[in-house]
């Protein structure tokens, strides 16, 4: 979890996708996140966290359902939403924090 903490502390926004392999909506989001990564081209980081392999991270951020998305900026959560969603919502929220 030390690496995770280092990544989210940066100035660059980090979108963390808390997911599970068995989760249907999480699988639906996988290609959307790949597409989103192309759109943001290094201006933000997308990090996937498997809650079954990293229960401490899920617990630390009170993740109760998957997928749960949290955007971190300078180590602090600045946006949070659960459930599958269109790429546009994630892109809009990330862009609010890219230049901020």
- Among candidate residues 23, 44, 70, 71, the one labeled active-site is 23
What's the burial of 69, exposed, middle or buried (CB within 10 Å: 0-12/13-18/19+)? Answer: buried
Please indicate whether residue 77 is annotated as part of the active site. no
Cβ count near 16 (within 10 Å): 23
- Among candidate residues 14, 26, 57, 90, the one labeled active-site is 26
Please indicate whether residue 23 is annotated as part of the active site. yes
Find the farthest-apart pair of alpha carbons in the chain and give their distance in angstroms, rounded.
36
**Residues forming the active site:** 23, 26
């Amino acid at each position: 979890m030390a690496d995770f903490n280092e990544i989210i502390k940066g100035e660059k926004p980090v979108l963390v996708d808390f997911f599970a392999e068995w989760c249907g909506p999480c699988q639906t989001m996988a290609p959307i996140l790949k597409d989103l990564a192309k759109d943001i081209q290094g201006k933000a980081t997308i990090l996937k966290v498997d809650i079954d392999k990293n229960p401490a991270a899920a617990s630390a951020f009170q993740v109760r359902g998957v997928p749960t998305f949290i955007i971190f900026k300078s180590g602090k959560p600045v946006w949070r939403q659960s459930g599958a969603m269109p790429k546009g919502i994630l892109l809009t929220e990330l862009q609010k924090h890219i230049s901020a």
